[in-house]
Structure 1
Amino acid sequence: MTGFDTFVVVDWSAAKGVRTPGKDAIWVGITRSGRDEAPRHFPTRRDAESWLADFLRAEIAAGRRTLVGFDFPFGYPEGFARAVCGSADPLALWDWLAERITDDARGVNNRFDVASAINRMFPGIGPFWGKPQEEGYPDIPYRGTHRDGHGMAEKRACDRAAGASSSVWQLFFNPTVGSQALMGLPMLSRLRRIDGVAAWPFEDWDEARAVLVEIWPGLIEPAIKAAGDGIRDAHQVRLLARALSRLPAEELRGMMQVQVQAPEEGWILGAGHGERLTALAASPLRPPPLSNDCFALPPGVDWTPVDDALALLRDRLRPVTGIKTVEVARADGRILAEAALARRANPPGANAAVDGYGFAHAATGEGPQTLPLVDGRAAAGAPFRGTVPEGHAIRILTGALLPGGVDTVVLEEDTRSDGAAVAFNGPVKRGANTRRAGEDVAAGDEALPVGHLLRAPDLALLSAVGLAEVPVRERLRVGVLSTGDELAAPGSTDDPGRTYDANRPMLLAMAARWGHSAVDLGHVADDRTALRDRLDGAAADVILTSGGASAGDEDHVSALLRETGSLTAWRIALKPGRPLALGMWDGKPVFGLPGNPVAAFVCALIFARPALAVMAGGPWPEPLAMQVPAGFTKRKKPGRREYLRARLRDGRAEVFASEGSGRISGLSWADGLVELPDGAVTVTEGDPVRFLPYAGFGLG
């Protein structure tokens, strides 16, 4: 069996207690089918193990082969397993530890007791060392220098090969690798019992559906440092999962077929390959380029109706941007690279919707009600820890978790209280003035879909369901280039033979309004060599050009695209803006827009906007349209769809006095377009027409 579909990296923790997202917590990074997923945090080891077991079973059932890496030693220096459990088999040692290590739901465990018992099996002092208090656990020395005569090597062969400085014997003081192993190996003992799971390199892993491996994030330390702000552990699991997923299948297989000198010690996957993994982790994830013939028209097509042209673009385009993980607080305006799944419910627990008094509904009825109050109260962030007996009530404030025994809240304004009891009139509806746990979003549900453009309200939702970071698409770099000898910079000359470049500032502003990174590629005269050089050096994912897109002597954009074999001259049946040259340059899509500003504007709205949205990783956006009465008359011939510059006044669509495509002032005069259909139509005042506001194109 070759290759893996899903890569999981687990940053384990031996810390005591329930951990909030941060350091010394458990983080899991996932890259599935080539896509990075947002790192997941787990408050306890029990939570993490339960999730991992369910995840492995689900991936196996779905037919996806999974590699799961853990950042703690899978084995000990040679001779340790036999001394402890009577067998050199490291898996027997895993089982031995699983029978003895305890770990409750609050993260309280007995690892120091087990380590004490193991140390008593060895001569001298050690090998385990490090503890919270110097006077506790007398069989464990406080410092590593206090050990002597235990007979165990300090490091395994793979630790030396990887350059790892930490020791498997260290139980306390950072890094607590020894404690991580004591708390992690029992978990591995249970996970490997799932049908289809094998532990590398101790078992036959080649045909396994899921393989457990030992990893060390220190192998990609430069990439982790370069990740910048945020939670280090979250960065390292995400980046190492990404790096492993990008290894060609045969290269990864070669790493896994390493000959281990001391088999019982295990091996760190990737030991000796740190530079290679770092390079793979550091580079942004990018999809393959579009093919050169992605814009090719079907045979026999001459004039292309607008709807057919849009359908071709929609079917043939896909995202061309990379993926990165960003903090939710910095994600405004970004496009989700994958569905955002709720880490926890919102609200996380049943709570009060008002200030008032809570009680069990079963203890109340119709007419006047009087219930004695328990001592204490429930407030947001300060829950009542006890249970409210039936027939009693408790003072409760808005947002407070409902204590045990409470399922209904009566509004404070509907009560009277002397501090010892509360009186109100019944009946009160069961569950009144309460919010159910997860009534907004349940844990594990999709909070937002892949491709969603994040806005301020979305950041509130993501934060509420526990997501500190999300994977997003890198901003699409839209290069804008003007061509033609006749163009000059605005205000640079008074020569009437020169035209000021109006398209470039307009198109750059449109790209920026749509949330992309607008890249000014400047102006190139009618010089094919200069144009080729400018295209070659374009730091962009897609290029919009204006001018030079037809078939004339000076139409160099079309000529260069023809040289690459990718040019498709779309003669689109619309007015204004019939010629649209589409092609590929060095893997980058090129949209050759008309040189006329009005035609360039319309073509950018109708064709470039949805195409750029898809290439940026979002869904295909349909323009906002509304039916409004016409405030004009017009007779239109069949054959082309027409877009008239228009604005709404008194609920009617007025159109610009002139349809001349050279009248740029009409674009500023208008606040939208009236779209007239492909066929013949006669419009009289009051007839319904289709109005497309600029705001619906993201230009409001």
Structure 2
Amino acid sequence: MTHDPRFDTVIAVDCSSGNDRGPRPTADAIWTCIARAGQAQTPVYHRNRALAEAYLIDTLADELAAGRRTLAAFDLCFAYPSGFAQALTGHADPLALWDWFAARVQDAPKSNNRFALAGQINARFPGTGPFWFNGLKSDIPDLPRTKADYGDHGLPEFRGADMAAKGAQSPFKLGGVGAVGGQVIMGLPTLSRLRARFGADIAVWPFQPADRAITLAETYFSLLPAALAAEAHDIKDAAQTALYARSFSALPPAQMARCLDVPASDEGWVLGVGSEDILAAAQLTPPPLRNDCFAMPQGAHWTPVETALAHLRDRLSPVTATQTIPLVKAAGRILAAAVAATRSHPPHANAAVDGYAFAGPLPAGPHTLPLHPGRAAAGVPFDGTVPPGHALRILTGANIPDGTDTVVLQEDVSANATHIALHGPLKQRANARRAGEDMMAGDAVLPAGRRLTAADLATLAACGTGQVSVRATLRVGVLSTGDELRDPGTPATDGQIYDANRAMLLADVAGWGHTPVDLGRAPDDRDKLRTILTGAATRCDAILTSGGASAGDEDHVSALLATTGSFALWRIAVKPGRPLAMGLWDDTPVFGLPGNPVAAQVCALIFAHPALAVLAGADWPARQSFTVPAAFAKSKKPGRREYLRARITDGAAEVFPSEGSGRVSGLSWATGLVELPDDAADITPGTPVTYLPFTGFA
């Protein structure tokens, strides 16, 4: 059977046989998650099957309209042990069995007939079974409550795939730990209707070739370790959809083909069983960048800065693995998955001040309230109910006691052992924080792609998050090229220069939150440079080179990248800078920067800084800029965007006297860059200009 293993989108679906679960996201419900190229979106909660089915129809229709091939992977048995479909429908075709169930299952948000239907099916078979377990209070004819005396019905309890997947349960088991039978009965009608809705555009693997726009497949959400699923979401069902959508979408076509290559059988198969090793590896390692990720559209000789930035933003994706670490160790790390609040913050209404709690409001005028015995303190809630018209001593942070909702500041009260006296008016719930007024349990707190700050750690800790899924730190190699370079502190002739770029770029990489890897210097020798790049690709996630990035005789970086099929020499309409060499060396992205230090720094800040952030798994960084008056005069020609070394003096931007890209001392003098537009401009003192502080790139 011929399959097409290339999928643009993966939708993972966690099914449920239960009734409507209400508006608040919860476990044992229906969850879905979409992923593309190893990047999972936030899992989506569906309170009942009708809403989930409508969502799937809309989503699959959108993917179809967008021209994307879609794999929909359901944690649901697509078939029963061999012989069941033939005995029940007269046909061995499991897809005919889907239609059989669709015609008989009754499903409303608050009730369904799965147990009654299972009993009716059992009545058609000899002995006891094949279904067992009754979750209702009333007995159902022919449906045993337990597996006692189960048997003699003529069918195997498990499919071959169930026995191959460690821990898988029988589709005949309707309840108890790990039971899947109920959700199979309730899920097959949905699959039947999806087939009817999408017709020739949909295939069901492995019964049909996976070569259509939409492929439905069965999977098992326990193939990968539970610890991996826990990283993505506080609710395990949601976490598993994200894990499996991400893992399947990250598989290269050759490895997906291996997963799809199973013998045809009327029992079907579980996608990933027998290929757990490559599925786990795909979960940990993002897919490589496309070989043409740096290729610019043909026709433009000079590429505007904004076009180049947009191209990087649209074509790059994370290349770092994910890992779960304790929250206290997560400062500066990039979230690999969105985090939802484990519980509300505060979890209970509590006092904002030290004082007395009572049931408000109080009208204007003097009031005297009897004191109820006891008190409420933070961590030691009051055990009981405060009678109407009474007050209770309460301390800051304590839970608001039952029978009260308002707190008066102790400084506004006269008190003795039995009563308090105060003046109104006092609004109801004054000085009381509402439960969940900061965050509600289940609320999205922080998105994937965010680099965690100290404040973020406090926010996550407050809502109960103990561990987070983060990206591994991006390892960025820095390599200088050129025979003329020498290491600082070593002897150098008049024809040689000290390597300023490597120290600068290594510091840049560290300041941007990545791990710098010093690759040293490469001579103007193509074979030696090839060896260095090949070694660097094994221990770096990205490489920055300086020098050799143009098209001259000694521009060996460009020459080597040109042999990979991924090379792009960008002629950027920028000053200083212009030539940028981009490409992949052994699937590792290489950014070839200019050799002159000022040009190398400007290009690193403007282009490499945001590109590396995306490769590391972060969002494309918003550039920090300020509009300030100029303290200089300049007549700028059209055609190139210009960056001038600048600093702020008395609120205005002063620029370095020389624009030469070899004047490295100007970088130390400056505190940022003035960005001049692509068009012509006449700058005089007082003209508004855009200032980019160096601190904005940290």
Q: TM-score if structure 2 supplies the norm length?
A: 0.71
CA distance in 2, matches of 1:55, 1:324: 33
- 8 A contact 1:7–1:245 mirrored in 2: no
Match of 2:388 in 1: 390
Match of 1:93 in 2: 132
CA distance in 1, matches of 2:695, 2:654: 17
Match of 2:656 in 1: 656
State the Cα distance separating 1:331 from its structure 2 match.
Answer: 2.3
State the Cα distance separating 1:225 from its structure 2 match.
Answer: 10
- 8 A contact 1:358–1:394 mirrored in 2: yes
State the Cα distance separating 1:282 from its structure 2 match.
Answer: 4.1
CA distance in 1, matches of 2:250, 2:600: 41
Equivalences for residues 214-233 of structure 1 within 5 A: 217=222
Farther off after superposition, 1-10 or 522-531 = 1-10
Identity of aligned residues (%): 47
- 8 A contact 1:352–1:435 mirrored in 2: yes
State the Cα distance separating 1:53 from its structure 2 match.
Answer: 6.8
Equivalences for residues 245-284 of structure 1 within 5 A: 276-283=275-282, 284=284
State the Cα distance separating 1:91 from its structure 2 match.
Answer: 7.6
CA distance in 1, matches of 2:466, 2:174: 25
Match of 1:44 in 2: none
Q: State the AA in 2 paired with 1:417.
A: A
Q: State the AA in 2 paired with 1:482.
A: S
- 8 A contact 1:224–1:239 mirrored in 2: no
Q: State the AA in 1 paired with 2:137.
A: E
CA distance in 2, matches of 1:639, 1:627: 22
1:196 match: secondary structure = helix
- 8 A contact 2:378–2:398 mirrored in 1: yes
CA deviation string 1:135-183 (max 9, x = no partner): xxxxxxxxxxxxxxxxxxxx98979955969999xxxxxxxxxx99635
- 8 A contact 2:33–2:42 mirrored in 1: no
Equivalences for residues 143-182 of structure 1 within 5 A: 161=163, 182=176
Q: State the AA in 2 paired with 1:192.
A: M
Q: State the AA in 2 paired with 1:99.
A: K
CA distance in 2, matches of 1:90, 1:59: 35
Match of 2:505 in 1: 507
Farther off after superposition, 364-373 or 452-461 = 364-373
Q: State the AA in 1 paired with 2:490.
A: S
Equivalences for residues 479-490 of structure 1 within 5 A: 479-490=477-488
State the Cα distance separating 1:303 from its structure 2 match.
Answer: 2.8
Match of 2:450 in 1: 452
Unaligned runs of 5+ in 2: 17-26, 61-70, 82-117, 151-156, 193-202, 208-213
Match of 1:427 in 2: 425
CA deviation string 1:400-438 (max 9, x = no partner): 222333221111221223233332111101221111222
Match of 2:561 in 1: 561
1:395 match: secondary structure = strand
In the alignment, does 2:312 pair up with 1:313?
yes
Distance 1:688 1:607, change over 3 A: same
Q: 1:373 aligns with which of 371, 374, 384?
A: 371
1:33 match: secondary structure = strand
Equivalences for residues 113-132 of structure 1 within 5 A: none
Match of 1:524 in 2: 522
- 8 A contact 2:30–2:46 mirrored in 1: no
Match of 1:443 in 2: 441
Distance 1:400 1:210, change over 3 A: farther
Match of 2:93 in 1: none
Distance 1:243 1:5, change over 3 A: closer
Equivalences for residues 672-687 of structure 1 within 5 A: 672-687=672-687
Q: CA RMSD in A?
A: 5.1
- 8 A contact 2:294–2:582 mirrored in 1: no
State the Cα distance separating 1:389 from its structure 2 match.
Answer: 3.2
Distance 1:58 1:454, change over 3 A: farther
CA deviation string 1:623-661 (max 9, x = no partner): 322233433444444443332222223333333233322
State the Cα distance separating 1:226 from its structure 2 match.
Answer: 14
Distance 1:55 1:445, change over 3 A: farther
CA distance in 2, matches of 1:211, 1:573: 48
CA distance in 2, matches of 1:673, 1:697: 11
Match of 1:106 in 2: none
State the Cα distance separating 1:666 from its structure 2 match.
Answer: 1.5
Match of 1:140 in 2: none
- 8 A contact 2:406–2:429 mirrored in 1: yes
Match of 1:403 in 2: 401
Distance 1:651 1:558, change over 3 A: same
CA deviation string 1:339-361 (max 9, x = no partner): 33333332223222112222221
Q: State the AA in 2 paired with 1:501.
A: D
CA distance in 2, matches of 1:86, 1:563: 70
State the Cα distance separating 1:454 from its structure 2 match.
Answer: 1.3
Q: 1:192 aligns with which of 186, 194, 200?
A: 186
- 8 A contact 1:38–1:469 mirrored in 2: no
Q: State the AA in 2 paired with 1:645.
A: R
Match of 2:549 in 1: 549
Distance 1:467 1:190, change over 3 A: farther
Equivalences for residues 312-391 of structure 1 within 5 A: 312-362=311-361, 364-391=362-389
CA distance in 2, matches of 1:243, 1:634: 54
State the Cα distance separating 1:59 from its structure 2 match.
Answer: 5.3
Match of 1:619 in 2: 619
Unaligned runs of 5+ in 1: 12-24, 41-48, 76-80, 102-114, 128-154, 169-178, 199-204, 261-266
1:303 match: secondary structure = coil
Q: 1:494 aligns with which of 492, 495, 502?
A: 492
- 8 A contact 1:97–1:185 mirrored in 2: no
2:489 match: secondary structure = coil
State the Cα distance separating 1:293 from its structure 2 match.
Answer: 5.8
CA distance in 2, matches of 1:697, 1:606: 9
CA deviation string 1:257-292 (max 9, x = no partner): 7677xxxxxx9958xx87631442245141341332
- 8 A contact 1:37–1:471 mirrored in 2: no
Match of 2:106 in 1: none
2:137 match: secondary structure = helix
- 8 A contact 1:356–1:411 mirrored in 2: yes
State the Cα distance separating 1:525 from its structure 2 match.
Answer: 1.0
Distance 1:629 1:241, change over 3 A: closer
CA distance in 2, matches of 1:245, 1:527: 40
State the Cα distance separating 1:391 from its structure 2 match.
Answer: 1.8
Equivalences for residues 296-307 of structure 1 within 5 A: 296-299=296-299, 301-307=300-306
CA distance in 2, matches of 1:303, 1:92: 70
CA distance in 2, matches of 1:332, 1:520: 24
- 8 A contact 2:294–2:567 mirrored in 1: no
State the Cα distance separating 1:552 from its structure 2 match.
Answer: 1.4
- 8 A contact 1:297–1:568 mirrored in 2: no
CA distance in 2, matches of 1:448, 1:570: 36
- 8 A contact 2:509–2:515 mirrored in 1: yes
- 8 A contact 1:239–1:281 mirrored in 2: no
Match of 1:33 in 2: 35
CA deviation string 1:372-397 (max 9, x = no partner): 23333333333334333332222222
Equivalences for residues 129-144 of structure 1 within 5 A: none
Q: State the AA in 2 paired with 1:603.
A: C
CA deviation string 1:580-621 (max 9, x = no partner): 223333433332211011110111111211222233333332
Match of 1:665 in 2: 665
State the Cα distance separating 1:240 from its structure 2 match.
Answer: 7.1
Farther off after superposition, 568-577 or 603-612 = 568-577
State the Cα distance separating 1:191 from its structure 2 match.
Answer: 9.0
2:562 match: secondary structure = helix
State the Cα distance separating 1:446 from its structure 2 match.
Answer: 2.5
- 8 A contact 2:258–2:275 mirrored in 1: no
CA distance in 1, matches of 2:577, 2:660: 12
1:603 match: secondary structure = helix
- 8 A contact 1:511–1:517 mirrored in 2: yes
State the Cα distance separating 1:457 from its structure 2 match.
Answer: 0.7
- 8 A contact 1:483–1:523 mirrored in 2: yes
CA distance in 2, matches of 1:576, 1:197: 59
- 8 A contact 2:76–2:180 mirrored in 1: no
- 8 A contact 2:29–2:48 mirrored in 1: no
Q: TM-score if structure 1 supplies the norm length?
A: 0.71
